[in-house]
A = this chain, B = another copy of it.
């Protein structure tokens, strides 16, 4: 059944609040941001705000939910593709996530320092907790397929989804904080440190799965170099 005009309006207004909140979290930090800031930004009344969200915490949770949905829409089609081998699915997931991040590169670079600041610790923790509920089961599906296909040998596919995701997440965090410490365009020492870190995590993921060496490329070297070249200008 088609959505009514009223429903469409409701969703649109709710999304406007989420967009404004996202900007405010990045510019002020979650703890510092007040509902008053959101009202001022959108020029709406307190009553209008509470029509959509019960609390500041509720906006945060909705925002995280929307970001997670975006990410799942990137991963899900790959997991369900009946044509792809498990190895290709997992490689596809690594690439799709990197592309998703690269597509919002200038935005991410602009907000990264805020994301890694003390003020956003709770935001990041909630993001991790939610991600740990959603992503590992999808990875487990792929790992089970790989075991059936004989390319993976992990003994506990269910839990390995969690292990692999822990490695992906820690690598992303490490890259993020290294990116923040990267200020000079010609800092080749740090770039090679990042490359070795990625190589170590790639090896850990391949070995955990029992996949052949060289099965996966977690980060395309050209993309990495680009990220670390641009950051000097923008962060």
Which A residues lie at the B interface, using CB under 8 A?
118, 121-122, 124-125, 154-156, 158-160, 162-163, 166-167, 170, 174, 196-197, 199-201, 203-204, 207-208, 210
CB distance from A209 to the nearest CB of B (A): 9
8 Å CB contact of A203 from B122, B155, B199, B203: B155
Q: Which chain B residues border A203 with CB–CB below 8 Å?
A: 154-156, 160, 208
Q: Which has the most chain B C-beta neighbours within 10 Å: A174, A199, A208?
A: A208
Docked CA distance A121–B122 (Å): 5
24 contacts between A and B (CB under 8 A): A121-B122, A121-B125, A125-B125, A154-B203, A155-B203, A156-B196, A156-B199, A156-B200, A156-B203, A158-B200, A159-B197, A159-B199, A159-B200, A163-B170, A163-B200, A163-B201, A166-B167, A166-B170, A170-B170, A204-B204, A207-B207, A207-B208, A207-B210, A208-B208
Docked CA distance A196–B163 (Å): 12
Q: Which chain B residues border A155 with CB–CB below 8 Å?
A: 199-200, 203
Docked CA distance A166–B175 (Å): 14
Contacts A155-B199, A196-B156, A199-B155 given; does A204 touch B163 at CB 8 Å: yes
Q: Which chain B residues border A122 with CB–CB below 8 Å?
A: 118, 121-122
8 Å CB contact of A163 from B125, B156, B158, B167: B167
Q: Which chain B residues border A156 with CB–CB below 8 Å?
A: 196, 199-200, 203
Query: Quick one: closest B residue to A165, CB to CB?
Result: B170
